[in-house]
A and B are shown apart, each in its own frame.
Chain A
C-alpha cells in the first residue's frame, strides 16, 4: 500500500502543472467574457480579449464586417449603419449598443450604432453580440441585435498602456489608459486621439471624402456596489455624399460632441440593480453645392426649393433611469424591471443659402415608460425555458401618435457538456423612431409601429478540438417603414418575409491556434413592388495563429448575391510581434487586394437613376506599437 502511495505521489509530481502553465491557463480561463455572457439571451457571438488583441481589432466595424447575416455598412454620411436602406440616412435603430450597462444611443436616431459603430476598441476588454431578437432585460426599447462592449477595468488591468498607430492616407492614432485600485476604490482612465483618413473618390467632377478626427475621454470609478462612468466624445470630419439626394456636394462637414454620465449600483447580492444616466449630443452638418448643381429640398410636403448650401444644428438630450430586480424561487429565476427614458431633440435650426420658412417639428420631447418581466425556468440541469414580456408606452409631445408597443419572447435551451440547442420565438413591435417621423427631408409623424415575428433555432456541438454551429431563422415583418415614391416615409403594405441560415465551424489546434469557417445566407422578400427579392451569401475564413513571439491573423470575407453589385472579396492580414511582454509591434492590412464588397448610394433619381459606388472598406495598412507600464 505504501508503495502504491509513493507511485501516486510521483505521478502527481510528474504530471503536476508547472506554475508557468497554470498562469497561462488561468489567464485564458479568466477571460471576462466568461463572466458576462448569457447564452439564454440570444444567438451569441463573442470576441474575447485574446481575439481582439490577436486580430488587431482597431474599431467596432472591424468585427461587425464579418458578422453573419448583416455585415457592416455605412450610410450616406459615412456613419455606421449595418441595415442601411439608402437613401434613408439611418436604418439600424434596432441594433442597440451598450458600453458596460449603459446604452450608447442617439435620442433622435433611436440607437447608437450611427455614433459608435466606428468607435476605437483600445479601451474595450471584450465584445458580445446577441442576434435574433435578444433578451428584454438589456434595455428600455426592443432590439434585433444587441452589441455589448465591456471596458477594461482595474480588476485585470492595473497599470497603464500607451499606443500609437500610423496608417494609409495619413491616418494616425494615439491613446493611453491607466488603471489603479486602492483598498476600497478602483478607477480606469482612457484618452484617445484618432485621425482616420480614407480613400477619396471622384464623382461628377467632385471629390467625396470620409476623413474624420475623433477625440475621446472615458473614465470609470467604482467600488463593490457602485460604478460611475464619464464618456466624452468630439468628432469632426467629412460627411461623404451628404443626406440630400440630387447632386454631389463640393464640400461636406459634420461635427458632433457627445457627453454622458452614468451611475450603476448593485444591492442585495447583486440582485437589485439601479441605473441612472444622462447624455447630451450636439451635431452640426453642412453641405455646399456647385451653384450650377443645386439640390432640391422639401419645404413642406407639397413645395420644394432649390438650394446651394445647408447648415444644420441638431441638439439631443436624454435621461434614463432603471431599476431591475431578480429573484430565485425554486426552479424559477424571475427578473423584472421598470425603466424610464426622457428624450429631447431639436433639428429646426437649419439655414440655407436662400431664405426659407422656418422648419416645423412635429414634437420635441418623448417620454418612454418601459416594463419587463422574465422567467428563466431551469427544469433540470440540461433544460431551461425562458418566457418574457415587455411593454413600452411612448408619450410624445404634441398631436402625434403615441405608440404602445408590446414584446413577447419564449425560448427553450438544452445544454449538456457537448451539445447546445436554443429555440427562440418572439413577436415584437418597434415604435417609429424620432428621426423617421420628424426628418425635414422625409419624415412622417403618422408612421405606425412595425411588427416582427421570428423563430430562431441554433444547434451547437463542442468538443476539445472544435465548435460547430448551425443557426436557422424565419420571420416576417408588417408595417416596415419604407420611402414612398413621393420621398416620404410610409409603412409598407407588404408582409415582408425573411429567412436566414448559417453554418459555422471553428477548429482549435496546437496551443492557441484556431481556424474559423462561416457561411451564412439571408433571404428577404421584396420591400417594393417590382423590386427583386434579396438573396445575400456571406462567407468568412479566419485564422489566428501564434508562433514563438508572433501572433498572425488572416481573414477573408466573401459577400455575394447583392443585386447590381459585384461579389466582394475582402482579405485582411496582420502580424503582431511581442518584443517583450510589455512592448508589442504590429502590422496590419485590410482589404489588401482592394476587392471588398462595394456599396451603392443614390446620387440622382432624375432624369435617370445615378449611383455612387464605393468599397465598404478601403484598402489600408497600419503600423502600430504599444507599451505597457
Chain B
C-alpha cells in the first residue's frame, strides 16, 4: 500500500519536459471548462503537446463528438465545429468571439486568458484558481 502511494506521489511530481508541461496546463484548463473526468476534445489542426501526452483525455477525430475544440489555427475550421466550445492557443484566436479563452505566449511568458462575458454566455463556471486569468 505504502509502495503504491510513494509510486503515485513520484509519478505526479516527476520533473517534466516543456511539451509535457504544456499538455498538463491544457489538461487543467480543459478539465476546468468541461468538468468531466474524461473530456473528449478535437484538435484543429496540430498540437504536439496534447497529441503526445493525452493522458486522461479522449482525443476524437470527429469534431461533432468533442466537448471542446482546441485550436492551433482558426483557418479551415470544419463546419461541424461551428457551435462547439472553442479554446485557442494564440492571442489572435481571441479575436473570434466564439473562442472562450486562449493559452498563448506573449511578451516572453506563457499566458492564459478568458473573457468573462464569453464564459457567462456559455454557462461556464471555472474554479477559483482561474480567477486571475479571467478578464472582465
| A18–B129 touching, CB < 8 Å | yes
List the B residue with the shortest CB-CB distance to A12.
Answer: B12
Is B8 a contact partner of A158 (Cβ separation < 8 A)?
no
Assess the B108–A157 pair: CB atoms within 8 A. yes
- In the bound complex, how far is the Cα of B18 from the Cα of A155, in angstroms? 14
How far apart are A181's CB and chain B's nearest CB, in angstroms?
Answer: 7
Whether the Cβ atoms of B105 and A11 lie closer than 8 Å is no
Q: Which of A19, A25, A184 contacts B129 (CB 8 A)?
A: A19
Main secondary structure of the interface of B (DSSP, over half): helix
Q: Which residue of B lies closest to A22 (CB)?
A: B25
Q: Does A202 contact B (CB under 8 A)?
A: no
- Known A-B contacts A25-B16, A26-B21, A29-B18; the reply to A158 vs B105 at CB < 8 A is yes
Please measure, in the bound complex, the distance between the C-alpha atom of A158 and the C-alpha atom of B55, giving whole angstroms. 30
How far, in whole Å, are A155 and B16 apart by their CA atoms in the complex?
Answer: 21
Contact in complex: B105, A157 (CB < 8 Å): yes
Pairwise interchain contact A4-B4, C-beta atoms closer than 8 A: yes
Within 8 A of A (CB), among B96-114: 104-110, 112
Interface of A, helix, strand, loop or mixed by DSSP: helix
B: number of interface residues (CB 8 Å): 33
A: interface residue count bin:
35 or more
Beta-carbon contact of A155 and B1 below 8 Å? no
Decide if B24 touches A158 in the complex (CB within 8 Å).
no
Q: Cβ of A158: which chain B residues have Cβ within 8 Å of it?
A: 90-91, 104-107
Task: Report chain B residues within 8 Å CB of A19.
Answer: 25, 28-29, 112, 129-130, 133
CB distance from A325 to the nearest CB of B (A): 24
Q: Are A22 and B8 in contact (CB under 8 A)?
A: no
Closest residue of chain A to B27 (Cβ to Cβ) is A22
- What sequence of 0s and 1s flags, for each residue 27-46 of chain A, a beta carbon within 8 Å of any chain B beta carbon? 10110001000000000000
Q: Judge if A628 is at the interface, Cβ distance under 8 Å.
A: yes
Kindly name the residue among B8, B13, B133 whose own CB sees the greatest number of chain A CB atoms within 10 A: B8
Contact B104 A4 (CB under 8 A): no
Give the docked Cα–Cα distance between A25 and B13 (Å).
12
Given A183-B74, A582-B107, verify A30-B18 contact (CB < 8 Å).
yes
Which residues of B are found within 8 Å of A582, using beta-carbon distances?
A: 107
C-alpha spacing A156/B105, complex, angstroms: 5
Does A182 sit at the interface, judged by CB under 8 A? yes
Contacts A22-B25, A26-B22, A49-B108; A181 near B13 (Cβ below 8 A): no
CB A256 to nearest CB in B, in angstroms, measures 31
B76, closest chain A residue (CB): A183
Contact across chains for A22 and B24 when beta carbons are under 8 A apart: yes
Min C-beta distance of B57 to chain A, whole Å: 16
Q: A17: nearest residue on chain B (CB-CB)?
A: B24
- With A22-B21, A22-B25, A26-B25: A11-B108 Cβ-Cβ less than 8 Å: no
Interface hits, B1-60 → A, CB 8 Å: 1, 4-5, 8-9, 12-13, 16-18, 21-22, 24-25, 28-29
A159 contacts the other chain (CB 8 A): yes
A17 to B16 CA separation, bound complex (whole angstroms): 12
Q: For A183, what are the chain B residues with a Cβ–Cβ distance below 8 Å?
A: 73-75, 92
- Within 8 Å CB of A292, what residues of B? none
Name the distance in Å between B74's Cβ and chain A's nearest Cβ.
7
- Kindly list chain A residues whose C-beta atoms are within 8 Å of the C-beta of B107: 157-159, 161, 581-582, 628-629
A288-B82 Cα distance, complex, nearest whole Å: 75
Query: Which residues of chain B (112-136) have a CB below 8 Å from chain A?
Result: 112, 129-130, 133
Q: How far is the CA of A11 from the CA of B130 in the complex (A)?
A: 21
Q: How far is the CB of A610 from chain B (nearest CB, A)?
A: 50
List residues of chain A with CB within 8 A of the CB of B25: 19, 22-23, 26
Chain A residue numbers with a CB within 8 Å of B29 are 19
- Asked whether, in the complex, the Cβ of A26 is within 8 Å of the Cβ of B18, the reply is yes
Residues of B within 8 A of A181 (CB): 90, 92
A400 at the interface (CB under 8 A from B): no
> Which B residues fall within an 8 A CB radius of A?
1, 4-5, 8-9, 12-13, 16-18, 21-22, 24-25, 28-29, 73-75, 90-92, 104-110, 112, 129-130, 133
- Would you mind naming 9 contact pairs between A and B with Cβ atoms under 8 Å apart? A23-B109, A23-B112, A26-B110, A27-B109, A30-B110, A159-B107, A183-B74, A582-B107, A629-B107
Further 8 A-B residue pairs, CB within 8 A, beyond A19-B112, A23-B112, A159-B106? A8-B4, A15-B13, A20-B129, A25-B21, A30-B21, A158-B91, A158-B104, A183-B73
What are the 5 A-B residue pairs with the smallest beta carbon separation, nearest first? A29-B18, A26-B21, A628-B107, A30-B18, A159-B107
